[in-house]
Amino acid sequence: MKIVYKLIFSSFILVLLLLAVSVYGQVHKYFTPGTVWGVTTIRIHSGMDQAYLEYLDTELKKESDISIKNGFMKSYKILRSQDDDSGWNMLILREYDSFASLEKNAEKADEVLRQATGIDDQKGMQGYVDRSKIRDVMGTKFMREVILK
């Protein structure tokens, strides 16, 4: 779990630096910055849809609902594509208030989830290994919503 949070933190810093450079010369003339979305692309292995959907409906839903209830996350969505080409075929979207709240709440959210689910680092890693048999995580990006004026 700590590896995942280090990856999220590193991605956050990179995105923050890129945003700082792009915003420097621009006043938000055409848009208002919105919430931040974590977008994870998933490739479900052939024939494993039901097994992965079972995980989403149990563990992921429970963890996400706990995060929303405790104010660490605003919402989440799962989108499934109809085609099964060689790329990703599912998106998991998680909405956060801001990059700052995402970073500020990372450790607290981890502890609350650990207490609520009873999943420690070893169980979490085993779950990741088990899920790797039914899906591949293609990547995760953090993106700011752009609200046009």
Q: Angle 116-122-126 (CA atoms, 0-180°, nearest 5)?
A: 100
The whole-model pTM stands at: 0.74
Residues β-bridged to residue 139: 41
Spans in the chain with pLDDT lower than 50: none
pLDDT of residue 121: 73
CA-wise closest residue to 60 among 46, 47, 42? 42
Count the neighbouring beta carbons within 10 Å of the beta carbon of residue 80.
Answer: 13
pLDDT of residue 140: 96
CB of 109 closer than 8 Å to CB of 72: yes
All domains of the chain in start order, with CATH: 2-148 (3.30.70.100)
pLDDT of residue 20: 66
| pLDDT tens figures, 90-125 | 999 999 999 998 888 888 888 888 887 777 777 777
